[in-house]
Amino acid sequence: MKVMKFGGAVLRDAATALKVVEVIVSHQAERVVVVVSALNGVTDSLHQVLKEVEENEKPIQSFIAQLKARHEEMASGTISDEKVLTKTVDELKNKMAKLERVLYGIAYTEEITDRTRDYVVSFGERLSAPILAASLRAKGVSSIAFDADEIGLITDGAFGRATPLLNEVERNLQKTIKPQIEKGTTPVITGYFGCDGDGRAVTFGRGGSDYSAAIIAYALKAEVLEVWKDVPGFMSADPKVIEGAREIPLMSYQEAAELAYFGAKVLHPRIVEPSMMRGIPIRVKNLFSPEEEGTLIQEVEEKSEWVVRSVAMRPGLSLVNLSGPAMAYTPGLASRVFTALSSAGVNVYTMAASMASFAVVVDAQDVKGALDSLREMKEGGIQDISTTDSLSLICIVGKGLRETRGIAAKAFTAVAKAGVNVELISDGGSDVALTFVIKSPDSARAMKALHKEFIG
Ligand code: ASP
Ligand code: MG
């Protein structure tokens, strides 16, 4: 049995969605479970409308009308059977009526809670899954759409960044989904969210459908997880920045996780966790050239030919530097800093410490929150807090990178020769990644120099 995941990028319009249908139909000989994201751009629009309706009900009507038009157009373009189409359109209308009521509720109470936010943004998937299942039925494939909160995809209930309770999910899906597969039905399950213990929708964060697919593959003990995208899989660098970027046929779970976390927007970084626990290989495939192998991610023993497999970059970061001569002598300071930052919802990408200073790298948009939370700490040891903006994190990824002599020296020499200054180095945290921070305007130059040095 295999899990096939399709993202918003391949659900742009009826033409691309029909390609998705074609791929699923052509794999019917194997048993298939499908996990699907919202149609392209729909999740963005749900997040956007939430911002608008908090104090104003006006945008609701036109928003719902647009959403309806978009999905009805997709449905009529992909469901080639009139009866199936009519039923699906009715189902979509019912779902949109629910969404509309929730949005008015928010406008009237002038309040959005984490819970209503997650519920509202889950509608993209609730609307796309029935369309895909119906287009499969119209092609003669037995298929049923399932909302993840109805099949027991239980999480810890952390809205916007949930973690699944894998044992419970496994127990539930063995009851709700497994019998469907055994009957020869292809379930189409919504990505992006699960539920808490009370059955309320909880999302996994943006791009979370990949993670959903891995959780479902884990629970159903799938042989393989295929992630279908509009790009060829992982590459040795972003082809928009590096002309000679190559496709990567094989990589380890750890390499994929680091790359996904630090820049390459190919997969959600957490897709690796459940997959690794069961040794389920992940294959990234390109919908627009399905005959190509794509990237296979699994347990890998050997290093790649060049050790370094890929160079990635994450722009839009800032450095927050804390300093004070007594910092090294203030026990527990680092832990209090991290607690303050995490309670303000600030994600730390990398850090470095010296005797009298402590620097963390965060998203530029989190700087204000970081400063507020650190000032609130009123920590005696910290005398000064300064920030540096417009930074990018560069990440070199490769298995065996740590135990191979000379990689860091080569990397920093290449960068220096390109006239780029390194602002912060953080090494040793990972066996497969070397990360450092430079000024954003230098990043293309640095990436080119590194790619040339290691990959050619
Ligand atoms: N639709 C959600 C998002 O756009 C989840 C996903 O696409 O993976 O973030
Ligand atoms: Mg998406």
pLDDT, position 325: 85
CB 46 within 8 A of CB 124: yes
275 and 269 Cβ atoms separated by less than 8 Å: no
**pLDDT 10s digits, 58-100:** 999 999 999 999 999 999 999 999 999 999 999 999 999 999 9
Of the residues 189, 213, 230, which one is the last residue of a structural domain? 230
> Is 274 part of a structural domain of the chain?
no
Q: Which residues of 169-204 are buried (b: 16+ CB within 10 A; e: fewer)?
A: bbebbeebbbebbeeebbbbbbbbbbbbeeebbbbb
8 lines ligand 1 (CB under 6 A): yes
| 214 Cβ inside 6 Å of ligand 1 | no
In a domain, 218, yes or no: yes
Q: Is 209 in the pocket of ligand 1 (CB under 6 A)?
A: yes
| Shared-domain flag, residues 330 and 419 | yes
Kindly report the protein residue whose alpha carbon is nearest to atom 5 of ligand 1. 207
Q: Give a yes or no: residue 50 inside a domain.
A: yes
The reported pLDDT for the residue numbered 382 is 87
Residues 225, 297 contacting (CB under 8 angstroms): no
pLDDT above 80: residue 417: yes
What single letter denotes the amino acid at residue 195? C
Distance 315 CA to ligand 2 centre (A): 20
Q: Would you say the CB of residue 191 lies under 6 angstroms from ligand 1?
A: yes
Q: What percentage of the chain exceeds 70 in pLDDT?
A: 98
Residue 143 CB contacts under 8 Å (≥ 6 apart), including other chains = 34, 132, 133, 134, 136, 137, 185, 186, 187, 188
Instruction: Print the domain residue range for 35.
Output: 2-230
Ligand 1 mutation target, pool 209, 225, 228, 270, most atoms within 8 A of CB: 209
- Lowest model confidence (mean pLDDT) among 88-92, 128-132, 150-154, 346-350: 346-350
The answer for residues whose C-beta is within 8 angstroms of residue 301's C-beta and 6 or more apart is none
- When divided into structural domains, the chain yields a total of 2
Q: Which atom of ligand 1 is nearest to the CA of 211?
A: 8
Among 2-16, 387-401, 426-440, the minimum mean pLDDT is found in 426-440
Rounded to an integer, the average pLDDT of 263-272 is: 86
Same domain as 223, residue 317: no
Query: How many percent of the chain have pLDDT more than 90?
Result: 80
Q: Is 37 in the pocket of ligand 1 (CB under 6 A)?
A: yes
Check whether residue 206 and residue 315 sit in a common domain. no
Cα dihedral value 262, 263, 266, 270, nearest 10: 20
Q: Is residue 46 part of a domain?
A: yes
241 domain residue, yes or no: no
223 shares its domain with 327: no
Q: Give the integer Cα–Cα distance in Å for 240 and 250.
A: 21
CA distance 26 to 439: 48
Q: CATH no. for residue 57?
A: 3.40.1160.10
**Tens of pLDDT, residues 167-210:** 999 999 999 999 999 999 999 999 999 999 999 999 999 999 99
- Lowest-confidence pick of 107-116, 141-150, 340-349, 439-448: 340-349
Q: What is the reported pLDDT for 355?
A: 84
- What would the pLDDT profile of 400-412 be if each residue is shown by its tens digit? 888 888 899 999 9
Nearest ligand, measured from the Cα of 268: 1
Whether the predicted pLDDT of 305 surpasses 70: no
Q: What is the CATH number of the domain that holds 357?
A: 3.30.2130.10
Over range 293-298, report the average pLDDT: 95
Identify which ligand lies nearest to the alpha carbon of 8: 2
Boundary residue ending a domain (177, 204, 230): 230
pLDDT digits (tens, 9 = 90+) for 322-379: 998 888 788 888 888 999 998 888 989 888 888 888 899 999 999 999 999 998 887 7
Q: How many CB atoms lie within 10 A of CB 239?
A: 14
Stretch among 7-21, 53-67, 227-241, 326-340 having the lowest mean pLDDT: 326-340
> Ligand 1: does its nearest atom lie under 6 Å from the Cβ of 124?
yes
For the CA of 43, the nearest ligand: 1
Q: Is the CB of 267 under 6 A from ligand 1?
A: no
Predicted confidence at residue 377, as pLDDT, reads 82
Given 210, 230, 250, the domain boundary residue is 230
pLDDT given at position 303: 67
For residue 236 and ligand 1, the question of a CB distance below 6 A is answered with no
Nearest atom (ligand 1) to Cα of 212: 8
Residues 325, 226 within the same domain: no
Q: What is the pLDDT of residue 306?
A: 67
| 37 Cα: distance to centroid of ligand 1 (angstroms) | 6
Q: What is the DSSP string of 359-388?
A: EEEEEGGGHHHHHHHHHHH--TT--EEEEE
Shortest-distance ligand to the CA of residue 12: 2
Q: Mean pLDDT, the chain, as a whole number?
A: 94
Cα 358 from chain centroid?
A: 29
Whether residues 202 and 80 share a domain: the answer is yes
* Alpha carbon distances (Å) from 399 to 203, 295, 309, 430, 432: 32, 16, 8, 10, 5
